[in-house]
Amino acid sequence: MTPAALAEGVLAGDQRALARAITVVENREPGARELLSRLHPHRGGAAVVGVTGSPGTGKSTLVDRLAKAYRAKDLTVGVVAVDPASPFSGGAVLGDRIRMTGGDMDVFVRSMSARGSLGGLSAATADAVAVLDAFGKDRIVVETVGAGQNEVDVVRTADTVVVLVTPQSGDDVQMLKAGILEIGDVFVVNKADLAGAGRTVRDLEEMVHLAGGRVGSHRDGGEGAGWTPPVVETVATEGEGIDDLVAALDDHRALLEDSGRLDRRARERDAETLRRLLREDVGRLVEAELSARGGLEAAVDRIEAGETTPYDLAAELVAPFERLERELAGE
């Protein structure tokens, strides 16, 4: 299918076109850029929620409950489940999740993994979100495991970030230390029926209080002001507290909308996409230029033979492009 036909299918609400389009952008297949370019003007309707937390905090269950709660309000939902640690995509996890969401066609679940580079994973996630958004999903949930930089990058593709912890797990303190506290817009203490839940809630509230305006995914540029991340208690397996979570997410969304932050985020997102595309293109140009000169190995042979250095060779390879840039600037 051509990118144009695929984009048409997505915009017409065809589920199979949606699945195919996400595969195209996930795998960076030829035509991915044209597809995304065609879908780009149709973005903007979806509220994007990121959910992160250590393994065992009940993330998947919470996300499923959240999806069901949205469906009960007649909102359509897309879920992108990202596991940066896994070299595999789809398969068992995807199957499980489809079963869990009961085959509801208006909850689209997609698992993604670290198939390509890790930097590429957050880009692929952002692209999958773009496709779901253009398709017309009302809510998109990006779910990722853990607390490393890669997970933080992934979850930052969302407008609102939920950080999930469980009572008194030593791991959570570690996670919060690792910078996760700073990106949370809403904190959830799941398994709140376990002993020590009250203590965990108080600890989190204290941390949020102590951190003042330095908490929340939009703190850059002072945007954290005006929002104190709430701490919500849930028992996801029982569906308890999910309504409170939905309300907290709605509150944060309203704040983003009313304050013009959503528009600023759209600008930032587009600027970042443009920079990323340019970096990719430039990398490709450099590789092509190296190939034209006999390839990297031949270049390194010359360096090791003492005929040139990486510095001189780079200058030599880039010189024609620099002349072109001077010409273009002089136009």
DSSP line for 197-249: HHHHHHHHHHHHHHHGGG-STT-GGGTTTT----EEE-BGGGTBTHHHHHHHH
Q: Tell whether residue 315 is a contact of a copy of itself (CB under 8 A).
A: yes
Q: Tell whether residue 281 is a contact of a copy of itself (CB under 8 A).
A: yes
Q: Closest CB to a copy of itself among 147 and 242? A: 147
**Residue 21 Cβ, how far from a copy of itself at the closest point, in Å?**
14
Binding piece for a copy of itself, criterion CB under 8 A, among 12-20, 58-66, 70-78, 283-291: 283-291
Which listed residue (4, 12, 225, 271) binds a copy of itself by CB under 8 A? 271
Binding piece for a copy of itself, criterion CB under 8 A, among 29-37, 50-58, 204-212, 218-226: 29-37
Which listed residue (72, 247, 289, 298) binds a copy of itself by CB under 8 A? 289
**Residue 196 Cβ, how far from a copy of itself at the closest point, in Å?**
19
DSSP 327: H
Q: Tell whether residue 257 is a contact of a copy of itself (CB under 8 A).
A: no
State phi, psi for 108 to the nearest 5 degrees. -100, 120
Question: 32-39 and 118-135 are packed helices; what angle lies between their axes, rounded to 10 degrees?
Answer: 40
Helix (H, G, I), strand (E, B) or coil at 140: strand
Question: 3-11 and 15-26 are packed helices; what angle lies between their axes, rounded to 10 degrees?
Answer: 130
The strand ranges marked E within the chain are 47-53, 77-83, 107-113, 139-145, 160-165, 186-189, 231-233
Distance between CA atoms of 50 and 183, rounded to whole angstroms?
A: 10
Which listed residue (20, 28, 40, 219) binds a copy of itself by CB under 8 A? 40
Number of residues that bind a copy of itself (CB under 8 A): 53
Amino acid letter at 88?
F
DSSP 181: G
Strands 231-233 and 47-53 turn out to be unpaired
Q: Closest CB to a copy of itself among 94 and 286? A: 286
Q: Tell whether residue 317 is a contact of a copy of itself (CB under 8 A).
A: yes
Q: Tell whether residue 282 is a contact of a copy of itself (CB under 8 A).
A: yes
Q: Which residue, among 51, 22, 85, has the nearest Cα to 236 in the 3D structure? A: 51
Which listed residue (15, 27, 37, 237) binds a copy of itself by CB under 8 A? 37
Which listed residue (120, 148, 196, 239) binds a copy of itself by CB under 8 A? 148
Distance between CA atoms of 275 and 280, rounded to whole angstroms?
A: 9
Q: Tell whether residue 285 is a contact of a copy of itself (CB under 8 A).
A: yes
**Residue 277 Cβ, how far from a copy of itself at the closest point, in Å?**
4
| Chain residues that interact with a copy of itself, rule: CB under 8 A | 33-34, 36-37, 40-41, 148-149, 174, 178, 263, 266-267, 270-271, 273-275, 277-279, 281-283, 285-286, 288-292, 296, 299-300, 303-304, 306, 309-315, 317-318, 320-322, 324-325, 328-329
